[in-house]
């Protein structure tokens, strides 16, 4: 196997399974140079990692093929990054890709039955029809299944390269086809299990959801879109609405990055890390507000709009807050203690002005609250007469957290417990 001749996909040589497979093949060329126990140990080490990968991703079928598909999906190189952006491949790079594809095609056809026989007489053969345990593939596993089905190894390296480029264009490469959601920790870190909430789970607030989905769809279509501030009372579904965007549009190339208030000074670094990617990103900051003595908001104000560096077209900012103006104001500030008091107030308001759209989520009135409760009760099979359900729901909101979508969910949960 000519792994050492790879150029564009050369990072595959750093993979442990590939290294061990190459070492095992070298051992088998001169079997007398390595004891049987060493060959068997290396073989079963490879076997264990192949099984582990297919089981983790819930991938049935050939465990060797599954693993190679995973390597191709997560490799970030000039070809995969260009494919993600939907950019044309320069002729010189395309020639190198075809060369690499031929080597990788050979890897897919590795005769593990022959390898097994050469390792020893009583060695278990590599599984070609693996069946994982109970479970379903996650986002990454589904992408690998799609790529594995899409790759046609029989029609030559040119066809294979085209199929890979199409996959990168639709699903991204590297981290981007492994995760939908990310957090920032000196770089993007994938979130394995993100909130699965969908728009249909959120009862009411149809007008607010329409504004946000319309803006998000325009963004995904490459049209002009606005940063959004979702303002309103606690528990009204602001954060859930933003997170639902990811679950509604992740298969259309949307990714989401969660940023904490304490990380605002790293906002420019986050932007730089994704500005040349081919996918679309919403940076999500939840429950953002500033006291009058805090100045961190200045770190993002110019980055959003107003600085020399233009905000990338593939990035939007969605922020939730319980404060309409984000930065706390005091009545004393309007008493002209500051010679330029008007200017000071304008400075504080200037951050909110960077958001082209502000969507308000008011607390529901009594009928809206009870409508949310009744809808949730029907969905979850709560067997209570309507009048009794409404009576208990009103008692719950008086005794606990008032009227809100969150309070309605908590009330329904309490009925299941009781």
Q: What is the pLDDT of residues 25-83, one digit of tens each?
A: 999 988 777 788 899 999 999 999 999 999 999 999 999 999 999 999 999 999 999 99
Q: Higher-confidence residue: 87 or 216? A: 216
Instruction: Summarize pLDDT for 230-256 with one digit per residue, the tens.
Output: 998 888 889 999 999 999 999 999 999
Tokens linked to 176? 């981007």
Span 260-272, average pLDDT:
89
CA max distance for the chain:
92
Any idea which fold 189-361 has? Rossmann fold (3.40.50)
Using 50, 70 and 90 to split pLDDT, how confident is the model at 377? Answer: confident
* Whether residue 195 has pLDDT greater than 60: yes
The pLDDT, as a whole number, for residue 414 is 87
Q: Cβ(240)–Cβ(197) under 8 Å?
A: yes
Span 77-90, average pLDDT:
92
Residues β-bridged to residue 188: 184
* Whether residue 297 has pLDDT greater than 70: no
Q: What sign results for the dihedral spanned by CA atoms 9, 11, 16, 20?
A: positive
The pLDDT, as a whole number, for residue 136 is 87
146: Cβ contacts below 8 Å, ≥ 6 apart: 167, 171
* Whether residue 348 has pLDDT greater than 70: no
Tokens linked to 192? 């394995």
Domain ranges of the chain: 3-178, 189-361, 366-417
Where helices occur in 120-155 by DSSP H, the ranges are: 139-150
Q: Cβ(8)–Cβ(29) under 8 Å?
A: no
Most confidently modeled range among 5-19, 193-207, 260-274, 322-336: 5-19
- Least Cα distance to 234 among 404, 408, 413, 410 occurs for 404
The pLDDT, as a whole number, for residue 209 is 95
* Whether residue 308 has pLDDT greater than 60: no
Using 50, 70 and 90 to split pLDDT, how confident is the model at 305? Answer: low
The pLDDT, as a whole number, for residue 403 is 82
The pLDDT, as a whole number, for residue 337 is 57
Span 315-320, average pLDDT:
94
Distance CA(369)–CA(406), nearest Å, equals 10
How much is the pTM? 0.85
The pLDDT, as a whole number, for residue 201 is 86
Distance CA(140)–CA(180), nearest Å, equals 9
For the chain, the straight-line distance linking the first and the last C-alpha, in angstroms and rounded, comes to: 64
Exposure string (b/e) for 311-350, b if CB count within 10 Å is 16 or more? Answer: beebbbbbbbbeeebbbeeeeeeeeeeeeeeeebbeebee
The pLDDT, as a whole number, for residue 298 is 63
Mean pLDDT score of the chain: 87
Residues β-bridged to residue 280: 254
Using 50, 70 and 90 to split pLDDT, how confident is the model at 340? Answer: very low
* Whether residue 352 has pLDDT greater than 80: no
The pLDDT, as a whole number, for residue 221 is 95
Site of tokens 């933003």: 242
Q: By percentage, how much of the chain surpasses pLDDT 90?
A: 55
The number of CA neighbours under 13 Å toward the Cβ of 369 is 26
- Least Cα distance to 107 among 17, 224, 179, 238 occurs for 17
Percent helix, strand and coil across the chain, each to the nearest 5: 55, 10, 35
Span 201-210, average pLDDT:
90
Q: Cβ(363)–Cβ(233) under 8 Å?
A: yes
- Least Cα distance to 71 among 24, 123, 3 occurs for 3
SS3 201: helix
* Whether residue 331 has pLDDT greater than 60: no
* Whether residue 294 has pLDDT greater than 70: no
Using 50, 70 and 90 to split pLDDT, how confident is the model at 268? Answer: confident
* Whether residue 120 has pLDDT greater than 90: no
């Amino acid at each position: 196997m000519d792994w050492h001749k790879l150029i564009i996909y050369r990072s595959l040589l750093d993979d442990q399974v590939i290294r061990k497979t190459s070492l095992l093949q070298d051992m088998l060329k001169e079997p007398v140079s390595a004891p049987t126990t060493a060959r068997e140990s290396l073989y079963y080490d490879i076997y264990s990692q192949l099984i582990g990968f297919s089981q983790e991703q819930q991938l049935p079928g050939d465990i060797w093929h599954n693993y190679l598909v995973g390597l191709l999906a997560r490799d970030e190189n000039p070809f995969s990054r260009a494919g993600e952006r939907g950019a044309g491949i320069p002729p010189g790079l395309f020639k190198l890709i075809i060369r690499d594809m031929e080597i990788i095609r050979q890897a897919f056809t590795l005769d593990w039955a022959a390898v097994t026989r050469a390792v020893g007489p009583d060695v278990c053969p590599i599984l070609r029809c693996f069946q994982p345990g109970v479970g379903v593939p996650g986002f990454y596993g589904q992408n690998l299944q799609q790529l594995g089905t899409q790759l046609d190894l029989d029609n030559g390296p040119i066809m294979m390269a085209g199929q890979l480029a199409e996959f990168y264009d639709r699903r991204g490469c590297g981290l981007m086809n492994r995760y939908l959601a990310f957090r920032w920790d000196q770089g993007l870190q994938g979130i394995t299990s993100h909130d699965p909430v969908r728009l249909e789970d959120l009862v009411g607030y149809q007008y607010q959801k329409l504004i946000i989905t319309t803006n998000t769809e325009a963004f995904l279509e490459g049209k002009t879109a606005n940063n959004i501030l979702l303002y309103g009372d606690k528990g009204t579904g602001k954060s859930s609405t933003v997170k639902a965007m990811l679950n509604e549009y992740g298969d259309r190339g949307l990714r989401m990055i969660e940023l904490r208030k304490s990380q605002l000074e790293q906002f420019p670094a986050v932007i730089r890390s994704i500005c040349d990617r081919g996918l679309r990103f919403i940076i999500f900051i939840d429950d953002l507000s500033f006291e009058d003595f805090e100045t961190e908001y200045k770190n993002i104000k110019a980055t959003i709009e107003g600085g020399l560096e233009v905000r990338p077209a593939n990035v939007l900012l969605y922020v939730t807050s319980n404060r309409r103006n984000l930065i706390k104001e005091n009545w004393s500030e309007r008493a002209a203690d500051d010679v330029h008091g008007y200017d000071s107030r304008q400075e504080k308001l200037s951050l909110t002005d960077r958001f082209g759209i502000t969507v308000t989520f008011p607390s529901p009135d009594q009928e809206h609250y009870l409508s949310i409760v009744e809808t949730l009760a029907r969905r979850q099979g709560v067997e209570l007469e309507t009048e009794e359900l409404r009576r208990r729901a009103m008692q719950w909101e008086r005794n606990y957290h008032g009227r809100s979508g969150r309070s309605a969910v908590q009330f329904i949960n309490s009925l299941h417990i009781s």
